[in-house]
Structure formats: C-alpha cells, structure tokens
Amino acid sequence: MISTVERLSPAQVKLRIEVDADAFEAAVHKAYLKQRGQINMPGFRRGKAPRKLIESIYGPRVFFDDAINQLFPEAYGKSLMEHTLSPLDEPQQPEVKAEIGEPLEITVSVAVYPTVEIGDLAGISVERMGDEVDDDAVDQEIERVRERNARVSEVEDRPARDDDLATIDYKGTVDGEPFEGSEAENEQLTIGSGSFVAGFEDQIIGMNPGEERDIDITFPEDYFQEDLRGKKAVFHITLRAIRARELPDLDDEFAKDVSEFDTLDEYRAHTRSEMEKAAKRRADYQYDEELLSALAERAVTEAPETMVEYEANRSLERQARSMVGDKPDRIESFMNMFSKNEDVMGRHRAEATKRVITRLAVDELIKREGLYYNPDKDQDIYREMVKAVAAEEGLTEEALEERVAKSRQETDSLRSLVERRKALRYLAGVAEGSIIPGAKDQDAPEPESADQDAPEPEPIEPETPKPDAKGTGPEE
C-alpha cells in the first residue's frame, strides 16, 4: 500500500491511498466467496456458481463494492498512522478509481487535529487588575447578606409597590393571539428587578391583591424570540398576593444569625478577608485569561468546525443549567429552542472558536517548550491542581488521588491541568521578562505515548464508509 497526504488547510487533509492490484484482486475474490451463497444461477447448486460466470452476467465489477469496503478501513487506518494524523471526524465520502487488474486508488478528505504555529512571544505585556477591597465594598456585601435574610410577610392592606414580592397569573397575546411562553400561573416576581420585559413590572405597581388588569408592553428589538421582536403585546394580569421584606437590624444579633461569629465587628473582618481572597482569585483569573489571549493572538491555525460545534453546544448547555437548574427535561427544551436561534448560536460559536484556538495554542506551546508534566520537578503545581479539583468536586485530596490512581483518563486529565498551569507560568515569565521565549525545558519528559501529543477530542476510530465505486454492483 502507498499513501500520500496533501494538507488542504491547517485542519483538513486529503489522503491518496493506493492498494496494489494483487491485494485488490484478493479482496474481490474474498467478496465472491462471501456472496456466492446468495446468488442463484440456473444449472448450479446455491453457492457453486463460478465467479467468471457471475461476473459475465452481472458485470465484472459486481464484487467491487464489497472488496473496497473490506480494504478501506485498514488502508485508511494505516495511512493515518503513517502520516501521524489525528482525525476529528468521519472522513468525507471517498472517491474511488477501480479497474480490473489495476491498483485500487482511493482519495478521501478528513478533518484532522490542526497544525499550529506560534509567533514571537517576546512582545507579550499583560497588566494585572487590582485586588484591593475598600470599606464601601464590604458594606455592600454585608447589605446583600442582610437583604437575603430579610423577613418576608404577606401584605393585604396596601397596593403593590417597588421591591415587593408579587405572585401573579398572566396571559399574553400579540395581535389577539397567544404565543409561546405567554401564559403562567403563580409566577413569582420581585417588582423592580428587571427580570421581565421593560414596562411589565412598573404596571403592576398600584394593584391590590386579587385585582386584575390589562397591561401593554413592547418587546425589544433584540428579544431572544425573533418572532416577537418589536411586537406590541397585551398581558392580562391577576395579582394573587403581595409580600414585603423587612430587613434585620445591623447588630451583633444579626452577625450571630448569619455567621459563626458573636459580634458584628468579627463578622465584618471575616467578610473582608473572604472578599480579599475572592478579589485575588478574580485578579489571578483575569491575568491568566489575558496571557492566554496574548498567546492565541500569536497563533496561526484553524479552529476545526467539529471542535467549535462541540464547544458551542457545551456552552449552550452550561447556559441552560444556569437558567433552569439541573432539570434534564427543561435543559433539553431550552437547548432545542435556542440551538435553532442563529443569533444565540452565533455568539456561542464565536466564543467557542476563541476557546478552541486558545486550547490549540496552549497545546502547541507545551509541545514546543517541553512543558510536559515532570513528577520530580512539578510536585508544587501537582498539589495545587489536586487541591483545586478536590475543592471543586467536594472531595478530600486523598479521595481524589485514590480515584485518579484507578483511572488512566483521570490521570491524563490531571496531567493536562499541570501542563496548562506550567504553560501559564511560562507565559507569565515571558510577560514579566524573567523567561526568554524559546528556552525549552530540556529536563521535561516527553509524553508517555503518541496520543498525548494530540489533546482532546481523541482521534476517532475509522468506520467503514460506503465508497461509491461507479459501475459496481449487479446491473438492473
């Protein structure tokens, strides 16, 4: 077998595969042996008709399809290995040239893990945002806690006003017709929160419990449902109940109720400490993101559509979970609705493209600078990653490490986190002038296996496609 590769783009290649004539003939004969029992020929018992007789009646290419489908998976797989290609998707429909007594020629295009080139990193300059916490910020945080612990009581002797908690039923129409999502019962609404369309909440102010009212609103031009954008709607509102919030006094008793501290001063000091930690985490995260953006800007590559779509759908699912909670049916409904919205998916794809290119650039930087995980040198980063993952998953570090030890996938995932952190430290060193770009870590071990050079998504196993060999098969 002979194969050549032509790179059509950083993430697309064309393979030309040639199977020698003898191997093709052997596959054709094997196909005859497999199929002859299914062919009835006058004068012969089933399965005993000679190959040449069958070919003379049905055509000399009658067994070509089966032979090609036998040969293609192995030839395709060997070609991928020979040229160290990692496919991201199934290959496109192959083009096949098959002639009697000639080598079999197959040409196929496939999306592959792309090539990446990183430009000069020496010019990276990134500023870190401040992480100071002032008195006003502490006061605002304590006030938010105070509001969350407000006592809520039902109100019957006055009309609704701003900041009330209202329970409403509503039915909406556009041009006299109901629309998707236009009706609800016992809907909870904080008046003035801005969670409904502009003008909706304001018109509830002044209503008394049990009162009904028609209100007019206009959907904004950028509303997520395209068919409602700019449309005027009428909602019939029934105000079922009003509840008001009473804030607790800001004193030592409040501190005892909302924390483990006995005094307001102790609680305030603890709040400041936690806010300072959070501010540092935000500043660290922002700094890391700026470093990654600077790296991605210097990367020349292509974001494969397969990777972008996968990442965009993951992003949409995260959005769905944040809005409807961990409710599979509602998540599925949300995703079905918004996956058809080109504006929404366009935004998700744009962000997904940036994330994919950033990931590709980080992987290439790790490879280029030899930033692979070194158990002897990287224990500080390893412990940092174990601690972070354990905290995120609500496990002890010991429990996480026990789980990791039992799974190659989890081990590789943790190694990847360590290598990503090393890449960020490298970039920070370049930005701060303490690292000269291109100074490869010679002590770092190479990946244990070739597939570690090709990060997710993993190369897929080739399946048998259905090549269209023109002129093959029994003639009508």
pLDDT in tens, 21-79: 999 999 999 999 999 888 888 888 888 889 999 999 999 999 999 999 999 999 999 99
pLDDT attached to residue 444: 58
Identify each DSSP E strand in 174-263 by its residue range. Answer: 183-190, 212-218, 232-246
pLDDT attached to residue 448: 53
> How many CA atoms lie less than 13 Å away from 117 in the CB half-sphere?
5
CA 229 to centroid of chain Cα atoms = 29
- Asked if residue 384 lies in contact with residue 419, where contact means CB atoms within 8 angstroms, the answer is no
Topology agreement, domain 2-112 and domain 151-246: no
pLDDT attached to residue 469: 42
pLDDT attached to residue 390: 94
pTM above 0.85, yes or no: no
- Asked if residue 108 lies in contact with residue 462, where contact means CB atoms within 8 angstroms, the answer is no
Residue 199 is encoded by which pair of tokens? 């003008």
User: What pLDDT, in 10s, does the model give residues 366-391?
Assistant: 999 999 999 999 999 999 999 999 99
DSSP state, 365? H
pLDDT attached to residue 446: 60
- Any idea which fold 2-112 has? Alpha-Beta Plaits (3.30.70)
pLDDT attached to residue 451: 42
Low-confidence ranges of the chain (pLDDT < 70): 438-476
* Tally of CB atoms within 10 A around 449: 8
For helices 408-432 and 397-405, angle between their N-to-C axes, nearest 10 degrees: 120
pLDDT attached to residue 447: 59
pLDDT attached to residue 435: 81
Per-domain boundaries in the chain: 2-112, 125-150+250-297, 151-246
pLDDT attached to residue 214: 95
pLDDT attached to residue 47: 80
Q: Are strands 165-173 and 232-246 parallel, antiparallel or unpaired?
A: antiparallel
Sign of the alpha-carbon torsion through 29, 30, 33, 38:
negative
Q: How confident is the prediction for the chain on average, in pLDDT?
A: 88
pLDDT attached to residue 455: 42
Q: How far apart are CA 415 and CA 405, in angstroms?
A: 12
Angle at 80 between CA 75 and CA 83, to 5 degrees: 120
pLDDT attached to residue 121: 92
The answer regarding whether domain 151-246 maps to CATH 3.40.50.300 reads: no
